[in-house]
Amino acid sequence: MRPRLAGLLTVVLCYVWHTVAVYLPLHEYAGATFFDGWDYWGDIDNTTWGNVTYLDRTNATTTRLTYVNDAGHAIVRVDNTTTILDAPLVHRESIRLTSKEAYGVGTVWIIDAVHIPYGCSVWPSFWTLGVGEQEWPANGEIDIIEGINMMNHNQIALHSRPGCMQAANPTQSGQTLERNCSLDRGCIVAENKPNSFGRGFAEAGGGVYAVQMDISGVFVWFWSRPDIPEGIKSATSTSHMDIATWGMPTASYPVSGCNITDFFTPQKLVLLTTLCGSWAGIPSLYSSTCPGSCINDNIIGPGSPKYDQAYWEVSYIRTYIAEDLAGSTPPGSSSSPTQPGSPTSQPINPVNPSQSSDSDSDSPTPTQSKPASAGTRTAVSMISVLLSFVVQLF
């Protein structure tokens, strides 16, 4: 009976993911206007204490650490042209971008990247940070792409205050390394598919990561370039997105282990590359894939060829809203708890993609959760019924 029950559970969970399968376009970051939708950090790395100074937009543009290439892709680089002299404290210039918009429950986010930074001392990440006045990680964090040094696979993680766990034995293709999301390292899932990070990712032509933030949980997918679903490959900035064909996610954080609406406020997207710091720079971790010293043998001295591969090349980042939420206020906020406010970017109107709308005046505050869609409420109800059934059997 146990194998049959496990099979039934898998089938129902797969159905749950697809209960709300169609999403409408909300915002696209791409092409000549890619950088208009982001705030530049313009300060040192004061969160993970990497040996970098994040530039503001003016200096990033002047030094060409951010620009749009001839293919229309956004390039976000670490400085590789400066020779850094030895000193008690050294920093190399880099970039941290934070989206002006925040995205909450009922949204999907997709990033198509051709290249992710890699190399000894290099720590790239594409992640999200919850808006709100409480200290990290009370508003939640979702690490979508993250790795260090010469790692050859990606790691996905959630960070939260105590009480959020990854449910035991989730239906996912990745390998769970930690289930407790309130630990400093977060609840981690390692990607098992090849070419998810580093040199392999670049040599395969990059790939796509996607996140569904739903009342039923947070789910993350990865596809290498040859395996991207047709619905994503053929999509444009105005296309609807049907996630029903996406298959099993790499990482699954279902509501049975963590109530997403309780632990995660609307999330701002963050794209950055730091160097060394509190993960890549730990000697025991650094030495597992790289020789010498993180700082002395990388940051100090000439930037090339050491940092020639330390760049993001992003074709686009697109966000979507559940079809049955499209007529309501987009689930986000344009406020930022960690840096000065800036003009609100113009998201694509989810009802008429040719029109823009300013969500600043209508967006709920970080403490005002969006009502769950009918589909997601049905999904949670199904989970509750199934779990009750399991309890009765055992």
Q: Which of 28, 146, 313, 323 is catalytic?
A: 146
CB distance 215 to 379 below 8 Å: yes
C-alpha distance from residue 113 to each of 126, 316, 366 (Å): 11, 7, 29
Q: Which of 28, 93, 141, 191 is catalytic?
A: 141
Contacts 24+ apart (CB under 8 A), 141-145: 141/186, 141/267, 142/211, 142/213, 142/218, 142/220, 142/264, 142/267, 143/186, 144/109, 144/111, 144/209, 144/211, 144/220, 145/111, 145/113, 145/116, 145/197, 145/209
CB distance 273 to 124 below 8 Å: yes
Token digits of residue 366: 């970080």
Active site residue 141: yes
Active site residue 146: yes
Q: Which of 108, 112, 113, 211 is nearest to 158 (CA)?
A: 211
Q: Tell me which residue has tokens 């200290």.
A: 135
CB distance 342 to 22 below 8 Å: no
> Would you please indicate which residues are annotated as catalytic (active-site) residues?
141, 146
